[in-house]
Every structure is written in structure tokens, then in C-alpha cells.
Amino acid sequence: MMKLVLVVAISLAFLLSLFDSSRESLKHGESMLTVHFPEFHLIPTTGASGPESFVFDISGDGPYTGLSDGRIVKWIANESRWIDFAVTTPARDGCEGPHEHQRTEHECGRPLGLAFEKSTGDLFIADAYMGLLKVGREGGLANQVLTDQLDKPLTFTNSVEIDPQTGVIYFTDSSTVYQRRNYIGVIMSGDRTGRLMKYDPSTKQVTTLLSNLAFANGIVLSQNGDYLLVAETATSRILRYWLNDTSVSKSHENYEVFAEQLPGFPDNIKRSPRGGFWVGLNTKHSKLTEFAMSNAWLGHAALGLPVDWMKVHSYWAKYKGNGMAVRLSEGSGVISEVFEGTNGNKWISISEVEERDGTLWVGSVNTPFAGEYKI
């Protein structure tokens, strides 16, 4: 009995630590700019929540973002409103409207990563449940891109990136064990079944570039296309996967650690027009978090308890609210800039920061709005 009580107590401490924002200092760089935005514009997402990622089309219109009810919507700036653009499932009964969308997302779809193919204007979608999809310029129902090319099916499709020179599509599968509706299990269990993958439309072949990843998440292509960055959420680090053979020969490996010991759990990665990469950090770490992450048995013990950890996670995140984002330098992966809200204006979590035309678009899987900040 005492052992059970101890496990319950430590398990609760583990989960709550995921959302404990206290930390003595960041571990990267000696000179960093912390940016606070006391004034900002919040744009409600009508009918659903969770604008997780942003993308602009080939004409510069948008942004577009995916929502919790399976819709992809487009921002019409001159009318200050969102319009429906696409969906990832044909059966939409019971998907939209006021209810807990997490209970129906496996049937209604949950679009996460988005990327436009520059030559055609097609939008590629990483849907957590429906896999890799594509929809034309006019929107509507997205179609499956991968049908029978996979030896192991996608379980938790997360991010997508397209090489504008070759048309090759890169994407991540966060876990082959846990679906998105139980993503906290990926972290708590120590799961390492995440994959970085590649799809070549010209050959219709799918290749696994990296496997055994601990919650493979956001990806981004470097400016000149010689490498990919991939976020490994559960280890709080960013990996660099070399696409250039010359670079690979220097390190004798096709990948290396680009940034580690980040001050929170990394989500999406986007290039900044000012140089470097913005990384959304879902929640900040604490010393207790680090202890829990270094003791895998703790998470396993917690998962064995009759507790809905996703619900506990949701309630605590809404109460605590400690998302942030960091901009990493392109050469060394050192933090050069920090974005976070001030007291009273904190983010529950931050999934992505997309910088465009002097504006930061901030997204979160937990909020019913997107953030627009002028730099």
C-alpha cells in the first residue's frame, strides 16, 4: 500500500513538473535578448481551437492553420476573419461545433503540419490520424498521398516540409505506439519509435531517414537545403540530419545534435528571415522535470495507474500556462532570442512561431486563438 501511495505521489509530481515554469536560467548562450510583448493582437479561431502551425500560400496570402475539429482555415486579412479552406476526412457529422474535439479527432482528423508545394500551389498536410495528405489550390477534401508505400503504417503524423528545388517531401511520425490523443504517453513511457521520413513524388518511394526517435516532432529545411532540423520533444533537443554528402563525410554520421538541453519541450521549427530558427517550446522545464526525464521508471509507473493523464495534463496546462519560444542561431544552435508572455499574458503552451513581414504569428494546440505580434 505504501508503495502504491509513493508511486502515485511521485507520478503526480512527474506530470505537474512538466508544467512547472520555474527555472534558474537558460543553458544556451551568454548574450540573449528576451522579448516581451505587452501589446499584441489575439485572433480567435471560430468554432474550434488549437492553431498549431501556420503557412502562407505561394501568393503570400494567409496564414492557413489546422484546428481541433479537423478543419484547415485561411486568414483573410482585409476582412479580419477566417474562412474554411479544407478538411482531411469526408465524414463531418459530429465533428464541428462546441464539444471536446479531442474525443472525436481520430475520426474527424487533426491537421498539424502544413506546407505548400511552390510549383503547383498544392497544400500538403500532416494529419495526426489520416497521415500525409494533399489538397489543391481551391481547397476542399484533402486526398491521401501515401496509400500502399508503407511497411509500417503512420500512427502519429506530425510535421511536413517540402524541398522547393526537388519537390521531395519530408515528414515525421512521432510514435508508432501512441496516437496524438495520448501524446503524453510518448513522453512518460520513454517511447522511442518516432521516425523522420522522406517521400519522393517522382518515384513514389518512402524512405525512413531516422528511426528510434523520442517523440519526433517539428522539422525544417535549411536555407540552402543541405540539412534538415528535427525536434526530438522527449529529449528536449534538436537534431541536424545532413542531406549533403560532403557534410556527412566531415562527421562520419548523417546526423548530429544541433541543440540540446533546451529550456522546454520543443515542438515546431521555422526559419526566421532575420537568421536562425524559431522553436516553439510547448512548456518550460524545471529541475523536477529533469529528474523525472532521467528516471524512466517514474513515467512507466505513472502510466500503470488508473489515471487519465491527458485530462490531468489539460487541466494543469490551462492553470499553469508557461509556453515560450526561442530563436536558435543558424551556425551553432545557441539561443539568441527568447519569446514569452508577461504576467497576465502568458501562453498556456506555444507550438510554433512563424515570422513574416515583421510579424510573429504564434500558435498553440491549447488556445482558441492565434497570436499576432509586431516586432
Name the CATH superfamily, with its identifier, for domain 2-374. TolB, C-terminal domain (2.120.10.30)
Tell me the one-letter amino acid at 359: T
Q: What are phi and psi of 186, to 5 degrees?
A: -60, -40
- What DSSP string describes 166-209? T--EEEEE--SS--GGGTHHHHHHT---EEEEEEETTTTEEEEE
Q: Which three cell numbers stand for residue 68?
A: 481541433
Kind of pairing between the strands at 140-141 and 81-87: parallel
Q: In the numeric block, which cell numbers belong to residue 101?
A: 474535439
pLDDT per residue rounded down to tens, the chain (375 residues):
444 544 555 555 555 544 444 443 444 433 345 555 546 789 999 899 999 999 999 999 999 999 999 999 999 999 999 999 999 999 999 999 888 898 899 999 999 999 999 999 999 999 999 999 999 999 999 999 987 778 889 999 999 999 999 999 999 999 999 999 988 888 888 899 999 999 999 999 999 999 999 999 999 999 999 999 999 999 999 999 999 876 554 555 799 999 999 999 999 999 999 999 999 999 887 665 666 666 666 776 777 777 766 666 666 666 666 889 999 999 899 999 999 876 666 788 999 999 999 999 999 998 999 999 988
Q: Where are the alpha helices (DSSP H) in the chain?
A: 2-17, 105-108, 184-189, 245-251, 287-293, 296-303, 309-320
Residue 90 is predicted with a pLDDT of: 95
User: If you search the block for the grid coordinates 529533469, which residue do you land on?
Assistant: 290
Q: Which residues contact 72 (CB under 8 A, 6 or more apart)?
A: 64, 65, 66, 84, 85, 86, 87, 88, 111, 114, 123, 125, 135, 139, 142
By CB atoms closer than 10 A (0-12, 13-18, 19+), residue 249 is exposed
**Residue-level pLDDT at 289:** 61
Sign of CA pseudo-dihedral 333, 335, 340, 343: positive
And the C-alpha cell for 38? 505587452
3-state secondary structure of 354: strand
Quote the pLDDT of residue 2.
44
- pTM here is 0.89
Displacement of CA 80 from its chain's centroid (Å): 26
Phi, psi for residue 27 in degrees, rounded to 5:
-105, 5
